[in-house]
Chain A
Amino acid sequence: MSNKTTIGDKLRTYLKHPGSFIVMLLVMLAAVITFAVLIFLIAYILINGLPHITPSLFSLEYSSENASVVPAFVNTIIMTLLSLLIAVPFGIFSAVFLVEYAARGNKFIEVIRLTTETLSGIPSIVYGLFGMLFFVNALDWGFSLLAGAFTMAIMILPLIMRTTEEALKAVPDSYREGSFGLGAGKLRTVFRIVLPSAIPGVLAGVILAIGRIVGETAALMYTSGTVAQIPDSIMGSGRTLALHMYNLSSEGLYMDQAYATAVILLVLVVGINALSSVIARKLTKA
Chain B
Amino acid sequence: MKPKAWTEKFMQGVFFIAACASVLAVALICIFLFANGIPAIREIGFLDFITGQEWRPNSGQFGIFPMIVGSLYVTAGAIIFGVPIGILTSVFMAMYCPKKIYKPLKAATELLAGIPSVIYGFFGLVVVVPLIREFGTALYRAGIVKNPGNGNSILTASLILGMMILPTIIGTTESAMRAVPSHYYEGSLALGATKERSIFRVIIPAAKSGVIAGIVLGIGRAIGETMAVIMIVGNQARLTSSMLEGIRTLTGNIVIEMGYATGLHREALIATGVVLFVFILIINFSVALLKRGADHE
Contact = CB atoms under 8 A, between A and B. Distances in A.
A34 B109 contact: yes
A28 B85 contact: no
B47 interface: no
Interface majority SS (helix, strand, loop, mixed), chain A: helix
Interface stretch (B51-59, B86-94, B140-148): B86-94
Residue among A116, A119, A246 with most chain B CB within 10 A: A246
Contact of B116 (A31, A269, A274): A269
A101 B226 contact: no
A277 B287 contact: no
Nearest to A226: B259
A265 B22 CA distance: 29
B80 interface: no
Given A34-B109, A125-B273, A185-B4, A118 B123 contact: no
Interface residues of B, number: 84
Interface in B1-28: 4, 7-8, 11-12, 14-16, 18-23, 25-26, 28
B226 A157 contact: no
A273 interface: yes
Contact of B280 (A126, A218, A221): A126
Contact of A94 (B18, B85, B270): B18
Interface in B52-91: 84-89, 91
Nearest to A186: B8
Contacts of B20: 94
Interface of A: 13-14, 17, 19-21, 23-24, 26-31, 33-35, 37-38, 41, 44-45, 48, 89-90, 92-94, 96-98, 100-102, 108, 111-112, 114-119, 121-127, 129-130, 132-134, 138, 154, 157-158, 161, 185-187, 211, 214-218, 221-222, 242-243, 245-246, 249-250, 255, 258-259, 262, 265-266, 269-270, 272-274, 277
Which 3 pairs across A and B sit closest by C-beta, in order of nearness? Answer: A123-B224, A215-B116, A30-B88
Given A24-B195, A34-B170, 19 more contacts: A27-B88, A30-B84, A30-B91, A30-B92, A34-B112, A41-B115, A94-B18, A116-B22, A122-B280, A123-B225, A126-B29, A217-B118, A242-B116, A249-B121, A249-B122, A249-B125, A249-B231, A266-B115, A273-B110
Interface of B: 4, 7-8, 11-12, 14-16, 18-23, 25-26, 28-29, 32-33, 36, 84-89, 91-93, 96-97, 105, 107-112, 114-123, 125-127, 163, 166, 170, 194-197, 200, 217, 220-221, 223-227, 231, 251, 254-255, 258-259, 270, 273, 276-277, 280-281, 283-284, 287-288
